[in-house]
Structure 1
Amino acid sequence: MRGQQKMRFQLTAVGLACATLLAGCGGGGGGKGNDAGMAQSVSFPFPGGSKVAVPPAVATITLKATASSGGPITYVSNTPATCSVSGDTLSLLKSGECSVNANQAGGDGYAAATARQLFVVPKNDQGIWRFANPGTQPVGASVQVTPASTAGSLTDFPISITTSSPTVCSVTGTTLKMLADGLCVVTATQAGSDFFNEATLTKTIPVGAAEGPALTFTGGYRPTDSWRTAEAGKIEGYSSSGAQNTVADDGSTFTFRMDKRSSAAGFGGYYGLRFYAATLENLVAGANTLAGVRIDSQKAIKFNMLMNPEMITAQKTELRVWLYLGHYANNCNVVLEKFMTPVFSPSVQGLQEQSVDLKSFTVQSSCGLSNLDVWDELQNYPIAKLEFNVPGINDQVPTAGTDIYTTSVTMGKITFK
């Protein structure tokens, strides 16, 4: 039985190859004796990649097949419920498999030929927003949550809320009831459709004495690729001159150092570091960035760092922290900012943890939007990129008789908790 199936498959594959490329597989022994005409081929470039549009809009693709004979091409959809053809225009009607034939009818000494393309028409992504974590709740409290979808009025699909921790909290409609100490884990789900993928968003609400989990932005760095985090996020460094970076052999630290020569103190300069979220190379161009760390019940950004002794002695340790959010508008991404002065203990030789309250950040770039709320932005959009930079660098000579000025910072893990 298995051998028969294999033989049928081979015959089918041969038949398809004939139908796809040649005028016909039958007919005589040599050229002039072939009643079917000369063989020709059809080149049919892949037309897929576009997502289905949301009605009443329709996504279209111009088909561009050519025949080796130079004859005209006609197109036929084998899946008209998913995609239809008019002339050389393919209309994507809903998500699913789209199959299209490009046909050349033959003539002028050529036999007919056909090529087929089969591809998937993808759905649009939708995201759930306005599902803010209400923060730590006492046992017995009731909380209303009202998540909404980025698809908005484009769909009529309701958002359902469920809990995976029924002993800690219960859900009735959009009301959460806190039952016991622990973490109340609730998920908002919006069903998909022919045009949208299903969307989910989970929130973890501490109840009673429980504490929320930590989120890791980066747990380390790659010694073999010194401009990348352990999570494969890109690292960018910039400075006014002489920059170099090193990564510890165990990947625990990333050191960025700038040397600059000057004949006098107070020459100025700048430097900074940018860390992208896991796997990110850049922010998405022209749209929201969905990848990154989504703040839930976390209250602070915590990072392990150390500045060089000259920087600390010169009291040039003020630091700017920028959080680049996935929120895109008016050709830019919303950025939150915090000026802070790291605390270093003279008795500690090595990294020291710094902690900055997330609610103490302000809006550095609003992208032309008004009335932005920091906590709403953090709850509704991921942190896709972090930047640490200094308003003023070390301008003290580190060693008598030299003119080399050194500014450096060593970073360890970065988390939200």
Structure 2
Amino acid sequence: MPGLATLLAGTPPPASQPTYDREAHVSKGSDDSPLSAEEELTLARLALDEGDLAHAAGHVAGALTRAPTLPEAHETLARLAAASGGGLDLFPLHQRVFVGVVVARAHLLAAAGQPAEGLELLAAATGHDRSADWAGVPWVTAPDLPERLDPERVAQVLMQVCATTPDPVPRADRAPLMPYLTLARNAVTVHPEHALLLGAASALARRLGEVTLAIRWASRGVRAHPSKLGEVWLGYAYRSAGRTHEALSALGRAVGHDPDDLAVYADIAGTLADTGRLDEALEWTDRALARDPTFDCAVHTAHRLRFQRDGDVAHLVALADFVRDHPDDSHEHGDLAECCRSRPWLGQVTPAAGAAVAVLRHALAEEQHGLDATPTAGDTGAAERAAYRGGCRTRAAGRGGEGGRP
């Protein structure tokens, strides 16, 4: 659902929205701590019994946020749907929408025969917080689900998930994303020759560490329908597997499909540089810049590689100038940060050192020690400093001590 990710909120919607009672939004216990999923469901059932469906919906949304796969939460949601003619009106998508509302609506859409729309909402929730197991529910991983879905819609959902996940996803963070990989497996089984689906499935598998599977799916996609995007997916899969020669071959074929896509030139340059072939890499960035001197991917890659080759900080200055003058890049780049990381005065301020600095530090420490010390008979300098510090206070007290005159 376009734009939904930017609307998701991590807290319940304001009290002005008619689907929620304010008590439901706050969702606090007597000790001002958030309610648990079980407590939310208890309140939801009470509201259901009283016929207060909006109040019940708020608590169900809260429960799903805290425990997205809890069977009791889904049972209560089903009760709410049965009592309200489907329940979709209780979970509308407003300008700022609580993630629990999005997830509840996704499940209701699936139950109403609109699983593609439901998957898009779950993918949006994953983009909002990929640490939560939003998709770990039976209907998402059911083997027969893809039979009721357009394979292109499934591919779009998988790409939506990929767009908000790193490559690769850290091993400890993969579990909540595995239901999407199961969906991809099931969809590829049902639609084995759909090139876009195979490529998107490959991209997700690659991010989740299934590199061999990613290569297999991307290869099948290219065979089913050769295309630039298919070759790029295949090239990335080979690159993740450390098979640089095959990766460069695939990316080269991608350029053949579309010589004007300069992002692929930058990909080839980056891949060559990763193997130490800087001169060849810079030839590819030069080719891209000859076509468009302001193409952001090529500019960032070129300056990074030039700095990597000769260490001249002028390349980073030029890149910083480019970043300042072109705030609307096609996507976020990390080249400048990567070059500056851990480098004195670029990525960090180098602490002062040396004999002179040590002497100054010692002198300052001694001075501070003296200022804070209690005067003794043998420390006349400290006594004088203490007297000076207390002198203003003594005189100020004296002025106010004669008849109370200021």
State the TM-score, normalizing by the size of structure 2. Answer: 0.20
Structure with higher RCO (Cα < 8 A, 6+ apart): 1
- Higher share of residues assigned helix: 2
- Higher share of residues assigned strand: 1
State the TM-score, normalizing by the size of structure 1. Answer: 0.20
